[in-house]
Amino acid sequence: MPRPTRVSLAAAVERDLDEIYDHIALEASPARADKVFERLREQIHSLALSPERGSWPPELLALGVRDFRQLVVRPWRIFYRVVGDQVNVLLIADSRRNLKTLLERRLLGA
List, for residues 61-107, the tens digit of each pLDDT value.
998 999 999 999 999 999 999 999 999 999 999 988 878 888 888 88
**Residue 103: its pLDDT value, please?**
86
Q: What is the CATH number of domain 6-104?
A: 3.30.2310.20
List, for residues 27-46, the tens digit of each pLDDT value.
999 999 999 999 999 999 99
Sign of torsion over alpha carbons 59, 65, 68, 70 = positive
**Residue 1: its pLDDT value, please?**
53
| Mean pLDDT calculated for residue range 10-27 | 96
Helices (H), 1-110: 11-27, 30-46, 58-61, 100-106
